[in-house]
Structure formats: C-alpha cells, structure tokens
Amino acid sequence: MPKDTKTIIDEAYEQYSDAIFKYICMMVRDYQQGQDLTHETFIKAYENYESFEGKAELKTWLFRIAHNVTIDYVRKKKPLRLIESFLNNKKDPSPLPEENLKIQEDVKVLYKGISNLKPAYKEVIILRKIKGFSINETSEILHWSENKVKVTLHRAMPLLKKELEKEGYEHETKQ
C-alpha cells in the first residue's frame, strides 16, 4: 500500500530534520530561527510534495527547500546582524576538557571565517565540505551547474584560508 504524503514527510522529518537544522543554523547563526526555518522547510515540503518528481533524492529536494527558505530569510535580515548574532552566540558555560575547548575555538574561527565570505562561497563550502554533499547533489540544491559548483568551491577555499589566517588560525603543515 503506497504511503500518503503526511507519512512520507513525517518519515523524512525523522530522518533529515537534524541535518537540515544544522545546515540552516550554519547559515543564520541563530538556534531559534534555525528551528523555525527547519519547520517551515518541512511544511513547504508537505504542501508541495506533489511537485516532487523523484529526479533527485528526497534528501536533496528537502535541502533545496531549506536553501530557498533560508535565502528568503537572509534576504530579509541585514547581513551585519547575522554576523553579530553568530559572534554573540552564548555557549554552555560548563567547563570542558582542554581538547574540547581547542576544538570549539577552532570551530568558532572556522564559522567566523565562513561568515565573512560572500553567500555563494559560504553555501558551497557548507554543503560540500561541512555537510558532505556530492558535487551533483550540491548542484541540485543550489540549482547550479556542476561546473559552477566546482569553480565556486575552487575560488572559495583560498578566500576561506585567508579569512582563517586573519583570525589567527595557523594551518598545520607536514614536516
């Protein structure tokens, strides 16, 4: 017996909501807004499921919706406020082992560096390098050609490296 739309979207929510939430949070740097935009993503998926043709994976289609919902939100909000909200994001004050603290500091530097890039560079780095999508999947999510994904990533990575160096991050080199 075929599944109804509600069941399909419910199952997709269980399977992909965490990954989509993390993707959105990387873009907007606001936990509560990330939750709201994640829910909006799945509402839109439910409302528009009949338009899903199955040409892409369901996960890719959902990330495309999340991308559109997030871009719409970002366009309405001033970019400076996004950066400020990211930098002022409060963390759990409980003490952490030294290694975890170092990792947290590196992640902050990485996200700060990413936040200083233009939106296209930010998106392609998050999707390809952080979320681990393939070139094909990234091109479907962003509605770009595969070549544009490759070229944009190729241009974005050196700029990210410069941003990280500005923040004082030193990349370890092989001896």
80-100: per-residue pLDDT in tens? 444 444 444 444 444 345 555
Question: What is the arithmetic mean of pLDDT over 42-69?
Answer: 91
Q: State which amino acid sits at residue 127.
A: L
Question: What is the arithmetic mean of pLDDT over 43-57?
Answer: 90
Element (H, E) at 157: helix 146-166
Report yes or no: 91 and 110 within 8 Å, Cβ to Cβ: no
Radius of gyration of the chain (CA): 18
DSSP string, 52-79: --SSS-HHHHHHHHHHHHHHHHHHHS-H
User: Is this prediction's pTM over 0.85?
Assistant: no
pLDDT-derived band at 104 (thresholds 50, 70, 90) equals low
Question: What is the arithmetic mean of pLDDT over 115-122?
Answer: 91
Question: What is the arithmetic mean of pLDDT over 121-125?
Answer: 92
Instruction: Kindly list the structural domains of the chain, giving each domain's residue range(s) and its CATH number in brackets, ordered by start.
Output: 1-90 (1.10.1740.10), 93-175 (1.10.10.10)
pLDDT exceeds cutoff 70 at 32: yes
More confident residue, 38 or 160: 38
Of 73, 82, 60, nearest in space to 149 by CA:
60
The pLDDT of residue 110 is 79
Give whole-number Cα distances, 31 to 21, 25, 37, 91, 126, in Å: 9, 6, 10, 11, 17
The pLDDT of residue 169 is 63
132-171: per-residue pLDDT in tens? 889 999 999 999 999 999 999 999 988 988 888 887 665 4
pLDDT-derived band at 1 (thresholds 50, 70, 90) equals low
Hunting for tokens 């770009």 — which residue is that? Answer: 144
pLDDT exceeds cutoff 60 at 79: no
pLDDT exceeds cutoff 80 at 18: yes
Rounded Cα gap, residues 158 and 164, in angstroms: 10
